[in-house]
């Protein structure tokens, strides 16, 4: 006598095989993996020491020029996403080197990019005809489809952290790129024009504030650090973040970039944060001080200036500052907020 369960399973299997030829598949076989009770990300906690990156970058500098490479960058690949050029599931990160006298040729692309200067002063980035000088700790934006090139007229190598929304744009099938006919685009605006026009509590009289990328494309660290130091005097420390601020578009008050949220936080010496988790996987880059961060149950990062580490989505993180520390970070929070997906858990804080 045929077992009813065996007969049912055989009938189901035959049904699945038959509809597969019509490019159909049953949702009930995959629903539990598609709609999960909590985020299940292949992104893993990870950390990179700048000393190691720097040594590898200098070796690369002897092997290939900035012009040959177009962008001499070592990609920071998340160990759970190897081979995909991703540091989180929808963001890219790498460290770029420009040696004295070099030019990284002009191009433009639909991907948005940030630069956070890790070491060196005196190199420059030109964005849509305006040049800005790069200093350690500066946060610089390349808006989507903006011409940009980099050069280094200083006597020392310059390193910066690149953050781009490459995986997101790739997922949306919206990638375009174009090379400029010249290695360095023509300068059409004076240095400091964007900051004067948009970053001095002034706006052009007819400016229509819309969403998108900030019209200010260099946020100097000297000014950011001064602001943090002034705010320290109030002694208003968030238990999860210390003193954490987000970079904004001065024309709208929204995030400085449409797809990437950028943040800076001050942790005073000895400060230990409460456990915190959020849905936006976050890349951290300390620019001052040293300390440690505990991610999840047991992943411990001992960090110092210029190191880089990543906290995956919905993983608890606690920071402990041995010295006064300043951390730059970025995530996909603007996208999550726009889609009403962002969620955070502050525990008992």
Q: Where are the domains of the chain?
A: 46-345
Task: Assess contact for 258 and 210: CB atoms under 8 A.
Answer: no
What is the average per-residue pLDDT within 296-321? 97
Q: For residue 149, how many other CB atoms are within 10 A of its CB?
A: 20
Candidates 219, 88, 236, 255; CA nearest to 166 is 88
Is residue 144 pLDDT above 60, yes or no?
yes
Buried b (16+ CB within 10 A) or exposed e, 270-293: ebebeebbbbbbbbbbbbbbebeb
Q: Are strands 148-152 and 73-75 parallel, antiparallel or unpaired?
A: unpaired
What pLDDT is attached to residue 151?
A: 96
176-203: per-residue pLDDT in tens? 999 999 999 999 999 999 998 888 888 8
In terms of pLDDT, which residue wins out, 34 or 347? Answer: 34
What pLDDT is attached to residue 7?
A: 86
Architecture of domain 46-345: Sandwich (2.60)
**What is the Cα–Cα distance from 169 to 299, expressed in whole angstroms?**
30
265-294: per-residue pLDDT in tens? 999 999 999 999 999 999 999 999 999 999
What is the average per-residue pLDDT within 124-134? 96
pTM to 2 decimal places? 0.95
Strands (E) in 243-298, as ranges, are 243-246, 261-267, 277-278, 282-288, 290-295
210 confidence band (pLDDT: 50, 70, 90): low
**What is the Cα–Cα distance from 204 to 96, expressed in whole angstroms?**
34
What pLDDT is attached to residue 349?
A: 66
What pLDDT is attached to residue 2?
A: 64
CA-derived radius of gyration, the chain: 23
Buried b (16+ CB within 10 A) or exposed e, 82-100: eeebbbbbbbbbbbbbbbe
89-100: per-residue pLDDT in tens? 999 999 999 999
CA distances from 81 to 27, 33, 78, 91, 302 (A): 26, 18, 5, 11, 22
Residue pointed to by tokens 């210390």: 242
What is the average per-residue pLDDT within 97-104? 97
Task: Identify the three-state secondary structure at position 126.
Answer: strand
What is the average per-residue pLDDT within 130-156? 97
21 confidence band (pLDDT: 50, 70, 90): very high
What pLDDT is attached to residue 84?
A: 97
219-249: per-residue pLDDT in tens? 999 999 999 999 999 999 999 999 999 999 9
What is the average per-residue pLDDT within 252-267? 96
37-63: per-residue pLDDT in tens? 999 999 999 999 999 999 999 999 999
CB-based burial of residue 295 (10 Å sphere; 0-12 exposed, 13-18 middle, 19+ buried)? buried
What pLDDT is attached to residue 346?
A: 94
Is residue 207 pLDDT above 90, yes or no?
no
What pLDDT is attached to residue 3?
A: 81
211 confidence band (pLDDT: 50, 70, 90): low
Mean pLDDT of the chain: 95
What is the average per-residue pLDDT within 152-173? 97
In terms of pLDDT, which residue wins out, 1 or 208? Answer: 208
Report residue 28 as tokens.
């009930």
Is residue 80 pLDDT above 70, yes or no?
yes
Q: For 28, which DSSP code?
A: G
**What is the Cα–Cα distance from 316 to 346, expressed in whole angstroms?**
9
What pLDDT is attached to residue 201?
A: 85
What pLDDT is attached to residue 155?
A: 97
Is residue 124 pLDDT above 90, yes or no?
yes
Residue pointed to by tokens 């020491």: 49
Candidates 116, 123, 132, 144; CA nearest to 214 is 144
Is residue 209 pLDDT above 80, yes or no?
no
What pLDDT is attached to residue 208?
A: 77
């Amino acid at each position: 006598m045929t077992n009813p369960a065996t007969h049912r399973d055989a009938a189901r299997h035959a049904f699945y095989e038959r509809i597969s030829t019509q490019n159909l598949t049953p949702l009930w076989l995959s629903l539990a993996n598609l709609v999960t009770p909590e985020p299940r990300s292949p992104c893993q906690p990870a950390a990179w020491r700048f000393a190691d990156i720097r040594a590898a970058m200098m070796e690369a500098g002897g092997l290939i020029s900035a012009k040959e490479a177009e962008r001499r960058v070592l990609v920071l690949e998340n160990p759970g996403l190897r081979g995909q050029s991703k540091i989180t599931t929808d963001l890219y990160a790498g460290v770029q080197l420009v040696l004295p006298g070099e030019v990284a040729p002009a191009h433009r692309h639909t991907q948005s990019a940030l630069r956070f200067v890790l070491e060196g002063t005196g190199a420059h980035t030109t964005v849509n005809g305006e040049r800005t000088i790069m200093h350690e700790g500066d946060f610089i934006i390349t808006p989507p489809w903006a011409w940009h090139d980099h050069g280094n007229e200083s006597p020392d190598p310059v390193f910066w952290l690149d953050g781009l929304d490459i995986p997101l744009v790739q997922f949306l099938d919206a990638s375009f790129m174009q090379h400029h006919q010249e290695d360095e685009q023509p300068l059409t605006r004076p240095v400091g024009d964007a900051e004067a026009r948009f970053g001095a509590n002034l706006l052009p009289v007819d400016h229509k504030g819309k969403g998108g990328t900030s019209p200010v494309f260099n946020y100097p660290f000297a000014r950011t650090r001064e602001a943090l130091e002034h705010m320290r005097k109030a002694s208003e420390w968030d238990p999860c973040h210390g003193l954490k601020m987000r970079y904004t578009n001065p024309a709208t008050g929204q995030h400085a970039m449409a797809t990437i949220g950028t943040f800076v936080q001050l942790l005073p010496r000895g400060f230990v944060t409460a456990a915190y988790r959020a849905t936006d996987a976050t890349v951290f880059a300390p620019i001052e001080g040293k300390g440690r961060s505990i991610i999840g149950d047991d992943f411990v990062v001992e960090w110092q200036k210029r190191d880089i580490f990543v906290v995956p989505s919905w993983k608890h993180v606690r920071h402990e500052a041995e010295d006064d520390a300043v951390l730059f970070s970025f995530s996909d929070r603007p996208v999550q907020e726009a889609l009403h997906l962002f969620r955070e858990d502050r525990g008992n804080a």
